[in-house]
Amino acid sequence: MGVSSTCFTVNIYLGFTMRLFPFSWSLLVTEMTSASHPRFRLLIGWCCLMSSALLIMTVYLAIMTKWEKKSETSDKETNSTAISGNTDQRIGLPPGLSINDYIHLIRDSKEIWICHPCTSSSFTPKNSTVEITVSGLYFFHAQVTFLNPNKASVTLLKNKGPGTQKRILSKVKHDRSGTATMIRLVELKKGDSISLEIEPTNSISRLDSDTYWEIIFFNYK
């Protein structure tokens, strides 16, 4: 129901009123100089009845309109959730690129990098280094929080191996207290060894949420 339906109903009421009172309005005013006139009382009663009916219809239309809007919003949210689920949490990744494996590393009491948790199959943590077991594209993210405003650095290294030389993949310099962040995307081969070096180590936060690094292995479909 809408505004047109309401107008149609009002016209019906007016038409019925005119048929119920078949006289001119000037004659009606002349005849109804007294409130005790039977037609006057009947007209007042009919107007009250019509006003009540219109009020009920207005409230009903307002409730129905609100319900329809709420239903449409709910449907949109459901569709949005379904679409979001189909993306499999790959928002922002290039087409054809998906997350295949992941590892998160923190420092233990002996200042050695350990994985937490250790469920990955594409990496092998060993003596504060990470050995790559599957060739592919790797994303590195490191966060180190320094407590003292000294000169510091965070360096991502590709260690020396058979047929390869030690090489710096990324380096971030930091000269104040606070958090240093490193992000690097690099293609690695099976057998490569990666490590993260921090200088100096005596000024970093030991909290797991402050100092850590993580590796994501991407897989082309």
**Short-list 181, 197, 189, CA closest to 217:** 189
| Lowest-confidence region among 34-43, 114-123, 177-186 | 34-43
Question: What's 209's DSSP letter?
Answer: T
Length of the chain as a residue count: 221
| Lowest-confidence region among 50-64, 94-108, 119-133, 177-191 | 50-64
How much is the pLDDT for 48?
A: 74
Domains of the chain: 3-86 (no CATH), 97-220 (2.60.120.40)
Give the rounded percent of residues in the chain with a pLDDT score beyond 90.
22
How much is the pLDDT for 172?
A: 93
The pair of three-digit structure tokens given for residue 24, joined into one six-digit string: 């001119």
Whether the pLDDT of residue 62 is over 50: the answer is: yes
What mean pLDDT is predicted for residues 135-158? 91
